[in-house]
Structure formats: structure tokens, C-alpha cells
Amino acid sequence: MKIVLNFISIVLLFLCLYLQNTEAVLSVNATPEYVHPCRKSDPELNECIKATLNHLRPYVLQGIPEINVPSIEPLIIQKMQMENGHGPVKMRGIFSNMTIHGGGNYTILSVKSDLNKYRVDFGIHLPYIEVTGNYDVNGNVLLLPVRSRGEFWASFTNVTAVAKLYGIEVTKDGVKFMKTDRLGIGFKLQKPLFRIKDVINRNNVIGEAMNVFLNENANEIIEEMKPAASQAIGKHFKNFLNTAFLQIPLKVWLKDYE
């Protein structure tokens, strides 16, 4: 019996340590340095939220271990899927092992909020984004069948985006939080450049022709793929935002929240 009790004690200890590492919820009385708090009653609430998001930039660059938020420079995305079934570009793509540089250099340009409905829209600017990773795509471009798999590199300049965040209130252990329920993303960018290393059409004219085609028609292809890309990006960043939102009580960043 003593051995069994000792074993149970050890298991409970490990469970406690595990929960401490995964649930890094802040106290409602905390005001960590990375939080620039606002008040719902502030007539300049939108400007305050904008300042809060810009204030976060150096902290998310490094990551915030206290609430399990990883660094966004570089941003690592293990897998992202997108599919476009309409128009001249019909394509299904799986992108994996993606490394994104430049996301930490964001600037929040504008904020429009209605925190009674947990709704926040914000405009973002990124001077330059560079992405590397693996891809696997198949589909049709202008009625021509496309099948390609390998490594890719892409860069984008002067990226502007509008994010529409739809939140809901959730309660954990009597403490209220805002959770991202939906996140819509719309974006514009300039000077897209692509380079692929196709392992299916390796070392032949088809592989090189695809590189030429991608760059000569980059704007048109991006325009066709925007809805699918926006959906995939919104899904990823919804999860990323909730990593933080569900660790920071509403009372911490909205000081007059009741």
C-alpha cells in the first residue's frame, strides 16, 4: 500500500508541474510590463488599444514565456492548407515547415473597436515579409494542369492588412477572459517575388518555366488565391491570439472592466 501511495503522489506531483507549465494564467491584479492597460470608459479607447498593440511589439519579438507566447521573429508555422476552387487559378496547396521573417516589424495603423460586443478591427503595416518552407500543390492554372512539390522562397514588400476580430467572453475558474471566436484577414502587398525548387520537375525546363510563370503572373495568382490565403492565415492567427487572450484576464488590460 505504501508503494502505491508513493506512486500516486509522484503522479500527482508531475501533473501539478505539467499544469503549471501549460496554464500560465495571470492574476487579475497583475500589471506586467508588456501590458499597456486601457479603460472602456476612455473616450480615446481606440487610440489606447492601438498604443497597447504597438507597445507589445518588442515583447512578442522576444516571446513572453510567462504566458506561453512564442517569439514571432521568426514566426514558425508547421502546416497551412489553402484551396481555391474558382476562377482561372484552381489550386490546392499544403505549405509546411514555414519560417516567416519580418512579422515582428509590424505597425498598428488604426483601431476601431466595440468592446461591448468584443469586436476589434485594426489596420496593420509590414514593410517586408520573407517566407521559406516546403510546398505541395496541384490544380489548374488557365486550364493547364499543375503538379509541383518541393521547397519555396517568397518575399513581399509594403504589406498592409485589415484584421477583423470577433470575440466572445469566457469564464475560467470565476475569471473572465476574451476569446477570439473569428478572425477575418484582408491584405494588399507589393512586389511579390517567388522561387521554387521543384523535386517533381527537377532540373528540367518545366521547373524553370514555373518559376518564370509565377513571377510574371504573381499579382494575378495572389489575387485569385486571396480568399483561400486569408482564411488559412486567419485560422492560424486566431489560435495564436488565443494563446495570449486566454492567459490574460479582461481585468488586466481593461482596468474598469466589471
Counting every residue written for the chain, the total comes to 258
| pLDDT tens-digit series, residues 125-150 | 999 999 999 988 877 766 667 777 88
Question: What is the share, in percent, of the chain residues with pLDDT greater than 70?
Answer: 79
Q: What is the pLDDT of residue 112?
A: 95
Q: Could you tell me which residues are beta bridge partners of residue 160? A: 125, 188
Alpha-carbon span 14 to 2, nearest angstrom? 19
Q: What is the pLDDT of residue 146?
A: 73
The domains found in the chain, sorted by start residue, are: 2-253 (3.15.10.30)
| pLDDT tens-digit series, residues 1-28 | 433 333 333 333 333 333 333 445 777 7
Task: Locate the DSSP E strands across 69-118.
Answer: 75-84, 89-101, 107-114
Q: What is the pLDDT of residue 77?
A: 83
Alpha-carbon span 14 to 148, nearest angstrom? 46
Q: What is the pLDDT of residue 111?
A: 94
The runs of H, that is alpha helices, within the chain are 2-22, 45-55, 57-62, 205-216, 218-245, 250-253
Tell me the pTM.
0.75
**Cβ atoms within 10 Å, residue 211:** 14
